[in-house]
Amino acid sequence: MRFVDEYRDPAAARALVARITELAADGHYKFMEVCGGHTHTIYRHGIEHLLPTSVELVHGPGCPVCVIPMGRIDDAVAVAQVPGVIFTSFGDMMRVPGSKGSLLGAKAQGADIRVVYSPLDALRIAAENPERPVVFFAVGFETTAPSTAATVLKARQDAVVNFSIFSNHVTIVPPIRAILESRDLRLDGFIGPGHVSTVVGQRLYRFVPEEYGKPFVTAGFEPLDILQAIAMLLTQFSERRCCVENQYTRCVSEAGNPRALAMMKEVFEVRPQFEWRGLGFIPESALKLRPEFAKWDAELRFDVPGVRVEDPKACQCGEVLKGAIKPWECKVFGTACTPETPIGTCMVSSEGACAAYYNFGRLHRQVAATMGGGPR
């Protein structure tokens, strides 16, 4: 067990692996980790190679960079290219390819695109440049949406009228439901996302056991957290229970952060439809600004093309995001598609399954193979 030695508490990790092996001895279990942060931890620490062959991990759609469809990147580039506009974005989005190139490409061609750490940095840029329109490219699940909401409220309070939001915020429950409804994927349970759950809380996930009969365990980001969550899922099977449990009690509560949820609700409303990369259109899965915040809505202030663009044929991000194939099973993985020249979104973000596997997983797999472990 080479990998275990790097853990904070190797003895605890060994004990958890032994417990998992014992609990999973009678069957085969397929669990999805929803969150891209978990995917990163799993590949970074070679967790797949510690697990018995009877436990399989499937990587889910919980990386907000990875699920943005190409058409929305084209829209962002179009707004960024409007003369006079200062377009602001998180760094992760800069290299995501649209059908006509990325934001990084548009910046090289002269558009004023600035990387920001926080929507508040974008608001500050707007206050400092009152004569120019400043747009913030808002992406993220409920982890990030409250921060955007608070920023819009602050823009209203401070009367910053040259500031607007291009909202691409998405919500966590609809894709989980879409995956549960999907016929080509049989899952036995979920490792639930950590940080998004600090906002939305545990009770939102009750539909998973109640309507679909699958256990759901929210987990923290350490390797030990993930191993413990897997043991908790398997324990539910052995005790014939099926419910929502919380491994990450250090950060996640039953109700989440009510103030953050209230601010989101004040500023955003649910879109009837939103396209997800690889998952297609999912009803009521994304957020737009409410009509009373129209002044700060970039989609109303600018001509946004809004054209739907097919994913590149060679790219299999959709199947990776649904957990139908592993990153290395994609035709272009590591050849035409690498973190330096990504074709698909999963290769762009460090939380994307393909980038995580490209950077760490390949190495672990080679080590595991030389140690006599099977390839996973």
Residues in the site for another protein, rule: CB under 8 A? 6, 8, 35-37, 40-41, 44-45, 63-65, 90-93, 116-121, 124, 139-141, 143-144, 146-147, 150, 195, 198-199, 221-223, 250-251, 257-260, 263, 349-351
Are 129 and 86 a contacting pair, CB within 8 Å?
yes
Question: Which residue lies nearer to another protein by CB, 194 or 209?
Answer: 194
Closer residue to another protein, CB minimum distance, 137 or 190: 137
The full DSSP string for 152-185 is HHHHHHTT-TTEEEEEEEB-SHHHHHHHHH-TT-
Nearer to another protein, 262 or 294 (CB): 262
Question: In terms of CB distance, is 255 or 371 closer to another protein?
Answer: 255
Closest contact distance (angstroms) between CB of 262 and another protein is 10
Shortest distance in whole angstroms from residue 27 CB to another protein: 31
Residue 148 near residue 167, CB atoms below 8 Å:
yes
Distance in angstroms (rounded) separating the CA atoms of residues 366 and 277: 31
Contact indicator for 344, 314 with CB cutoff of 8 Å = no
Q: Minimum Å distance from CB 143 to another protein?
A: 6
Phi, psi of 285 (to 5 degrees): -120, 5
At closest approach, how far in Å is the CB of 264 from another protein? Answer: 10
Minimum Å gap between C-beta 12 and another protein is 13
Q: Extract the tokens encoding 34.
A: 């929803």
Smallest distance from another protein to CB 42, Å: 13
Q: Is 29 or 137 the residue whose CB approaches another protein more closely?
A: 137
Please tell me whether residue 56 adopts helix, strand or coil conformation: strand
Instruction: Give dist(CA 292, CA 267) in Å, integer.
Output: 8
In the bound state with another protein, the residue whose beta carbon lies nearer, of 177 and 195, is 195
Chain centroid offset of residue 107 CA: 25
What residues pair up with 86 in beta bridges, in sequence order? 112, 134
Between residues 90 and 163, which has the closer beta carbon with respect to another protein? 90
Between 147 and 236, name the residue whose CB sits nearer to another protein. 147
Q: How large is the angle between the packed helices 36-44 and 223-238, nearest 10 degrees? A: 110
Contact present, 161 and 141 (Cβ < 8 Å): no
CA angle 234, 364, 219 (to 5 degrees): 35
C-alpha–C-alpha distance, residues 322 and 344, integer Å: 14
Tell me the closest approach of the beta carbon of residue 23 to another protein, in angstroms: 25
In the complex, least distance from residue 7 CB atom to another protein, rounded to whole angstroms: 10
